[in-house]
Structure 1
Amino acid sequence: MSESAGGCIEPPTAVTEAEVDALVRGICFKTGPPRRLGVEVEWLVHELRSPQLRVTPERLEAAYAALRTVPLKSALTVEPGGQLELSSPPAGSLMECVGTVSADLDAVRTVLREDGLRLVGLGHDPWHSPRRYLREPRYDAMEACLDRGGPAGRSMMCASASVQVCVDGGYEEPGPLGHVRRWWLAHQLGAVLVAVFANSPLAGHRPTGWLSTRQLRWAQIGTGRAGGPPLDADPRGTWARHVLDAPVMCIRQDGGEPWDVPDGMTFREWIRSREPRPPTREDLDYHATTLFPPVRPRGHLELRMIDAQPGDDGWIVPLAVTAALFDDPQAAETAYRAVKPLAERTLGRPAPHNPLWHDAARVGLADPELREIAAVCFAAALEALPRLGAAREVIDAVAAFEARHVARGRCPADDLLDRLHSGKPPYGKDLSS
C-alpha cells in the first residue's frame, strides 16, 4: 500500500505486460565490469554422533535461536527442511569472499557443536526422507504446487543442499567478459560443474543410479519451474518472456490466510485476467523468486547447479574454479572454447532438460567429453587463480581436487559410493546400521 498526497492509503498499482518486460530487463541483467563475487552455501544439519537419527524440530529450533545471536557478516537463513544457508555479502575479491564465509562458518559450527549438531556437505540427504521444518504460508503453497508434479519437489525443498556461486553479469560489449557470452557460458559450463562436483548418489540408504540425485530432482520438477529459457543473442528479452510465461506458484494473501495456488496460470495470463486480483510489482518480484533455473539472473548471475561439497572447506574449490573461469579473461576464453562443442549435445533444449545435463548428473566425469573439458577448465583455472590474488591454500585445494578427481575421471559422489560398497559411511556411523 502507498500513501497519496492527501494522506489516503492507495492500493498497489497493477503491472502491465510492457512494464514487466521493462522491469525484468532492467533489474535482472545489470551490466558492467565483473568486480564482485558471492557464494551461498547450503548445508544439511545432522546429529553430531548419530547422523542417521533425524534431528527433532525442537532441537533445530533451539540451535537456530542460539545462532541468531551470533554476529555474522553473511546472511543466515533456514531452508524449508531445516537446512542452513549462509549467503555472503558481495565481495570485491575471491579471498575476501573466502575469508568472510570461512569465519562465519567457524562461528556457526561452534554453536551447533555445543548442541550436538553438525553441518554436512552432501547434495542430497542419504538417509532421511523429506520432512518440512518451516510452517509458513509460502512453503505451504510451494509444497502444494510442487506436489502436483510428483515427489521431487519435496526432496528439493527439504532434502537437498548446494553451493551457489554468484558472479557479475558482465560488460554490455561483446568479448570474453560480455554479458551475452557469460550467460551462454554459464549454461554450457554449468553441465561440467554438475559432473565435476556431483556429490549426491544416495537416497533412502541406497544408490539412486545418479551421481547428482540433487540435480535429478531439480530436473524432475519440470521446465516451467526449474528450467532455463532458450539461449540466444538477447538474454534480457528471452528471460523477460520466460518470467511472463512461467506458471505462477502462488498468490499471496494478507492476514495469515492460506495462499491461493493456481494450476498452470502464467504470470502473463494473470496480468490479462486480473483474477483473483490484478498482479502488482511486489507480485512480480515474488514470482521471480519462485523460478529455479540452473542459472538465475538477479542483477548478477546465480549459478545454482553445484552440489554441496564434502568437508568443512570443500565449498571453496567450486567457488574458486567458477570465479577463475568467469572473471579472468584468459580463463574465460579458454572455458568458452572448451565448452563450445557441448552445444551440439543440448539438441537445442534449454538446461537442465537436455541430454548434456542428463549425462552430467547421471554419470559425471565417466563421460569422456565432460572429463576432457573439465581437465582443460581446471588447468585454466589453476593458471588464473594467482592473477585473481588467490592464496596458496586455495590454489593447493583446487590442485588437490584436480589430482584426486578430475584427472581420474571421478567426482565426490564416486568416493561416497566406494565407501558404501566397502561398508563404510559417507561420514559418521556405519551406513548399514
Structure 2
Amino acid sequence: MARDTVDSTPIEDISTLAETLNAGCKPAEDFRIGTEHEKFGFRTRDLTPIGYEGPDGVEAVLNGMEAILGWERIEDQGKIIGLADPAGGGAISIEPGGQFELSGAPLDNLHQTCREANQHLAHVQQVCKPMGVGFLGIGMAPTWSRAEMPVMPKSRYGIMTRYMPKVGSLGLDMMYRTSTIQVNLDFTSEADMVTKMRVGLALQPIATAIFANSPFTEGKPNGFKSFRAQIWTDTDKDRTGDMPFAFDDSFGFERYVEWAVDVPMYFVKRGDVYHDVTGTTFRAFMNGALDGQIPDARPTIGDWNNHLSTLFPDVRLKKYIEMRGADGGPWRRICALPAFWVGLLYDDGILDQAWQLVRDWTQEERALLRAGVPETALETPFRSGRVLDVAKEALSLAQEGLKRRNRLSDGDLDERVHLAPIEEGLAAGMCPADVLLQRYHGAWNGDLTKVFQDYAY
C-alpha cells in the first residue's frame, strides 16, 4: 500500500464497514487489472543490499524516479517513502527491507500491464545504473541474513517490527526478506466476489507452486521451493491463512468484516502520527477501547481502510480482490501472474468451470495443499496425481479465458501470449525454483552470486 488513508467519515456499525466493500462492485465492462511487483535492490560492486540513505540508497532512487516521472512525493516524518501518480492511479512504494514496489495503475488489459512494467523497469535502470545499483527478481533474498537487511523509515513498519516476534517466528523474514508479484481484480456483485474468493483461495497453492521461486537462504538451498510461502505459515495466524469460513454458505461482505474486526490492529494514524495500538482489535476500537489513549478515538473509514491493508490472508478483500500467493520473479513473470488470474476470473463461463474444478475439495485437502506446496511445489501429491496436473488444468482454463476476452496487442496477439512462461514451465514439469536449483548445482557450480547476474532486471 503506497499511502495510508485519512478518510474521516465516522463508522456507524458493522453494516457501514460491509458497505465499504460492497462499493467495489462494478459492471464487467469496467473491470480493471492492477499488478504489483517487488524487487530487491543491490549494489553491483559487492552484491550487498542498498540502504535508505546515501548516493546509492532507496532515497536517492525515489528522488531520481520523481525527477523522471513528476509524480507526487509520499513522505513519512519528512522522509520520502514513495511516489503517487495523480493521473493514472499507480504508485511506487518501499517495503520494510527496501524492496522496491510498483503498484500498477488499474488497466484494461494485460498488454497495457506489460507496457507499464517494461516502462517502469526501464526508468529504474535509467536511474539506478549510474548509481551502481541493480534489482533482483526473486521470492526471497538469496544470500543476505536478516541482520544485513536495511530498515526503511516508515512508521507503520516500526510498529510491525516490534509486534511480529510476539505472534510468529518468521514475521520479520516476511517483512524484510521476501518479495512478491500480485494482481488486484474486480467483481460485479457480492455473489461474484464470493465465487472469485473461493476459486482464488482454493487455487492459491497452485499459483504458489507455479511461481515458486525462493529456494535459497543465506547462500545455500533451504529445502523449499517457495520458502516465502513457508514463511507465511508462521507469521501471524490472526491475520493470515486460507480463510476456511469463505467456503461457508454464510460468506459475503459482512462475514469478511466480522472476521476482520476481530483481528488485532497495528496502528491508528492521526495527522502524521502513527499510534501503536497492537493487541487491540478493531471491534474493541469501535467499542471505545482506545478512548483517552489516542486523539480523536472514534474510528473512521480511514482507520478501517488502513486496518484492511494490514490483513494478510492468501486472498485479500478490499474494494477489489488481491491474489497474494506468488513469489517475486524475473521480468516475464510480472505479466504471467496477472494473466493466469485474469484468464481464470474475468470470463463468467471460465470462472464457473474453475469453480467446478475446486468445489468438491475439502478444507482438509486445501490445508494439505497449502502446507505441502512450499516444500515440493508442482510435485506435491494431490488426490490421485500431483499439483502439476491441477496446474495444467488451471492453465488450460486461463488460456481459454484470455482467448474469449480477445484483447489484442498492436501485433494482433491476444493476451494468451503472456502465459508463455507458465506454459514453458509446466511443459517441463518445473517451477522457477527447480530451474534455479538446477543452475546452482550445475552451471553455477554452487556459486549463488551468479543469481545477481542471471536474474537481475
When the two structures are superposed, what TM-score results if normalisation uses the length of structure 2? 0.81
Distance in 2 (alpha carbons) for counterparts of 1:171 and 1:20 = 17
Aligned counterparts, 1:11-30, within 5 A: 15-18=11-14, 20-27=16-23, 29-30=24-25
Contact 1:325–1:335 under 8 Å retained in 2: yes
Aligned-residue offset at 1:217: 1.4
The residue aligned with 1:364 is 377
The residue aligned with 1:319 is 338
- The answer to whether structure 1 residue 108 and structure 2 residue 106 are counterparts is no
Aligned-residue offset at 1:84: 0.7
Distance 1:255 1:56, change over 3 A: closer
The residue aligned with 2:36 is 40
Q: Larger % of strand: which?
A: 2
Aligned counterparts, 1:16-415, within 5 A: 16-18=12-14, 20-27=16-23, 29-33=24-28, 35-51=31-47, 53-57=48-52, 58=54, 59-60=56-57, 61-71=59-69, 74-130=90-146, 131-172=149-190, 178-229=192-243, 230-231=245-246, 232-233=248-249, 234-252=251-269, 259-263=275-279, 265-275=280-290, 276-277=293-294, 278-281=297-300, 282-310=302-330, 312-341=331-360, 343-344=361-362, 346-347=363-364, 354-367=367-380, 368-388=385-405, 389-391=407-409, 392=413, 395-396=416-417, 398-403=419-424, 405-415=425-435
**Aligned AA for 2:378?**
L
Output one character per residue of 1:380-431: Cα deviation in whole Å (capped at 9) or x when no partner.
223333333254496445235323x213332101111122223243523699
Distance 1:122 1:89, change over 3 A: same
Q: Which runs of 5+ in 2 are unaligned?
A: 1-7, 70-84
Output one character per residue of 1:123-169: Cα deviation in whole Å (capped at 9) or x when no partner.
11011123343123211111111121244222111211111111112
In the comparison of the two structures, how many residue pairs are matched?
A: 404
Aligned-residue offset at 1:32: 3.3
How large is the RMSD of aligned CA atoms in angstroms? 2.7
Aligned-residue offset at 1:333: 3.1
Runs of 4+ more than 4 Å apart: 253-256
SS at match of 2:198: helix
Output one character per residue of 1:157-190: Cα deviation in whole Å (capped at 9) or x when no partner.
12111111111123456xxxx2221111111111
Distance 1:164 1:411, change over 3 A: same
Distance 1:68 1:129, change over 3 A: farther
Percent identity between matched residues is 25
Q: Which runs of 5+ in 1 are unaligned?
A: 1-11
The residue aligned with 2:72 is none
Aligned-residue offset at 1:246: 0.7
Output one character per residue of 1:269-311: Cα deviation in whole Å (capped at 9) or x when no partner.
222243235341132222112111121112111111111112x
